[in-house]
């Protein structure tokens, strides 16, 4: 895999993790019984 592609992939993953953390903050109040990170890992496209 070319280095540029790898760097882009890493960037995308970091962005996704950052969004996941933001989502976790707002999701925890609504659904304390559910783990947003685990849910996100199972279905990445969940908004």
Instruction: Check residue 24 and give its pLDDT.
Output: 78
Is residue 46 pLDDT above 80, yes or no?
A: no
On whether the CB atoms of residues 40 and 19 are closer than 8 A, the answer is: no
Distance CA 21, CA 17 (A): 6
The CA distances from residue 20 to 2, 4, 31, 46, in Å, are 27, 24, 15, 10
Mean pLDDT of 14-23: 90
Global pTM reads 0.45
Distance CA 36, CA 4 (A): 30
Distance CA 12, CA 41 (A): 15
Q: How far is C-alpha 25 from the chain's CA centre?
A: 12
């Amino acid at each position: 895999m070319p280095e540029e592609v790898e760097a882009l992939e890493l960037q995308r993953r970091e962005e996704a993790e950052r969004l996941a953390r933001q989502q976790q903050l707002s999701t925890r109040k609504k659904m304390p019984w559910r783990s947003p990170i685990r849910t996100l890992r199972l279905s990445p496209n969940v908004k």
